[in-house]
Amino acid sequence: MESGTRSAEPTPSVIISDALANFFGITGREMLQSEVLRRIWEYIKVNQLEVSNRKLKFVLTSCTLVH
């Protein structure tokens, strides 16, 4: 698979913690792994927690994510 292309295979379902479910504002704990990652990256981007430094990428921690 080339970089930037999406796989036709569905991602597995995962059971997330109660804390992560509360963070996402959902009641269920089962989600597709791709949806969990999408929501986390969306939060990081919206809250400007991603810092690029030419060759490296950093993600700054957020008190909301830590708790």
pLDDT in tens, 6-49: 556 778 999 999 999 999 999 999 999 999 999 998 988 888 87
Place of tokens 């060759």: 55
- Kindly report the CA angle at 37 between 65 and 55, in degrees rounded to 5? 85
Q: Strand 56-59 relative to strand 50-53: parallel, antiparallel, unpaired? A: antiparallel
Q: How far apart are CA 51 and CA 46, in angstroms?
A: 12
Specify the length of the chain in residues: 67
Place of tokens 């009641």: 27
Q: How many CA atoms lie within 13 A of 60 on its CB side?
A: 11
Q: Check pLDDT > 50 for residue 1.
A: no
pLDDT of residue 19: 92
pLDDT of residue 36: 94
Whether this prediction's pTM lies above 0.85 is answered by no
pLDDT of residue 61: 63
